[in-house]
Structures are given as C-alpha cells and as structure tokens.
Structure 1
Amino acid sequence: MLPDLTATQVVSALKTDGYDCTTDVAYAVCRKGITSIGVLTGTHPRPPVLSVQASGQVDVAWGEISNSLPRILELAHVNQPEIAGWFDQQKGKPIAQQAFGDWLVDISAEVDTEEPGVHLTLTDKLCKTNCQAE
C-alpha cells in the first residue's frame, strides 16, 4: 500500500517520469504524447481529481490510456491497480462508471465531436470541500 501523495508530489512524480507539466488555473496539466493528465491542485492530502485524457481517434486514444494507465496509477499512488483492467474491459462503451475503494472512476469516449478522444476521471470520494475546479 503506497502512501497518499499531495497534488504537488503527484505532479513531481509525473515530471520525473517524463511528462511536461504546466499549471492551468486550478489544475496542473502534464502531457506526454497524445496523453494529458489533469491533477486538481490544493491542500488536500491527495488530489481530489485525476483526469487522464487522450485525443484523436477513439481506438488510438483508448490504447494510449490503456498502455499508460498502470504507470499513472503507480506514480499517483492510487492504490487500486484493478482500475486499469476495468478500463480495458470497457473498450467500445461510450460511457462507464465504477467505484474502486475511495475512488469513483468515470470514462467517456467522444467519437463524433470536434475533439474526439477518451477521458478517464478519478474522483476522491473522501474529499468534502474544494473537490472540483470552479
């Protein structure tokens, strides 16, 4: 069981793993290839929201997230490795939601939009205040 990391520590771990990170209002956004990870910043004991997105054709975007998700979960100390397997099982579904421990996980696949891609969001169910960006 890995200890919780603050948002700052998660961003630092992502930078060390080769992600290019910038700050965008309430989120730190870390990018590598077509994948971006949004980390909601603040003073919480762990990030209230982690958002993993890949842009482009849905099959390609899904594969990109699928390949990088186990490492992202490890770097962020999300102690629910089964999320990666569940994500793989949802391929082809436009939306899905599941709870894993203290995390609520949402998937959406955008096919016929101006910005196609796949979005995976992990929300900390234990967070009580300032848990979403404005």
Structure 2
Amino acid sequence: MLPDATPAEVVSGLTGAGYKCGAEPPYAICTADTVSIWVLTGSHNRPPVVSLHATGPIEKATADLSAKLPRALELAHINPRTPIVDWFGKLGGKPTDQLTAGDWQADWSAEVVDTDEPGAHLTLVDKLCKVNCQAE
C-alpha cells in the first residue's frame, strides 16, 4: 500500500519515469510513446482524477494502455492497483465498463475509428474527493 501522493508529486514521479509533462489547466498532461496521462491538479492530498489515453485503433490503443497501466497506477499511488490491472486485462473488447476498487472508480471507454478521437480511455476518480474534484 503506497501513501497518498499530491498531484504535484504524481507529476514529478511521471517526469522521473520518462514522461514529458506539460500543463493544460486544470490538468497536467504527461506523455510517453502513444499514452498520455492527465492528472487533475490542485491542492488535494491525492489527485481527484487520473486519466490515461491512447489514440488509434482500439486494439492497439488498449494494448498501449495495458503496457503502461501498472506503472502509471504505481506512480500515481493509486491503491489497490492489482484489481484495476486485472479488471483491465479482462475487458475483452468491451466498448465501456466500470469498476470500483477501494476508494477509486475506474471508467473505461473505447472509441471506434470513425469518431472524432478514436482510441482508448481509462479514467480513475477518487470517490472520497468532495471539493474541486472535476474539471469544469
């Protein structure tokens, strides 16, 4: 079990792991290869939202996210990690799904090629957050 990490500490960890980070307020956006990780910034004890995105055909985008997911969850200090990684590995081509693991809600969506942004999206939301928990 990892201790909570502030949004700034998460971004610092992602940078240290080789991600290139920039800001698009209220998010810090960190990218490595084809995967970007969006971290909702603020003065929270831990980030209220951590969202992973990969563009392209669903199969490739899902595989790209799968490769980055365990380390991304570790860097973001999201507990528990194993149920989220296991669930993600069993999605089996579903276009949407949802999981609650500990204090986190995981939302999955896959966009088909003929949409505006084809790819895969996994958003983790801290269910304990009560103030400034979502971007406007």
TM-score (norm 1): 0.98
Instruction: Name the CA distance, whole Å, in 2 between partners of 1:13 and 1:7.
Output: 10
Alignment-derived partner of residue 3 in structure 1: 3
Alignment-derived partner of residue 110 in structure 1: 111
Identity of aligned residues (%): 55
Counterpart amino acid of 1:3?
P
The CA deviation at 1:114 is 2.6
1:11-60 Cα offsets, whole Å, 9 max, x none, are: 00000000000010100000011100000000110000000000001100
SS at match of 1:21: strand
Q: How does 1:69-84 map to 2 (within 5 A)?
A: 69-81=69-81, 82-84=83-85
Is the Cα contact below 8 Å between 1:28 and 1:41 reproduced in 2?
Answer: yes
Alignment-derived partner of residue 27 in structure 1: 27
Is the Cα contact below 8 Å between 1:62 and 1:91 reproduced in 2?
Answer: no
Tell which deviates more after alignment, 38-47 or 77-86: 77-86
Q: How does 1:16-55 map to 2 (within 5 A)?
A: 16-55=16-55
Provide the aligned C-alpha RMSD in A: 0.7
1:42-98 Cα offsets, whole Å, 9 max, x none, are: 011000000000000110000000111000011111111220110111130010011
Alignment-derived partner of residue 88 in structure 1: 89
Alignment-derived partner of residue 64 in structure 1: 64
The CA deviation at 1:115 is 1.7
- Unaligned runs of 5+ residues in structure 2 are none
The size of the alignment, in residue pairs, is 134
Instruction: Name the CA distance, whole Å, in 1 between partners of 2:61 and 2:129.
Output: 29
TM-score (norm 2): 0.96
Instruction: Name the CA distance, whole Å, in 2 between partners of 1:127 and 1:105.
Output: 14
Alignment-derived partner of residue 97 in structure 1: 98
Tell which deviates more after alignment, 116-125 or 84-93: 84-93
The 4+ residue runs of structure 1 with deviation greater than 4 A are: none
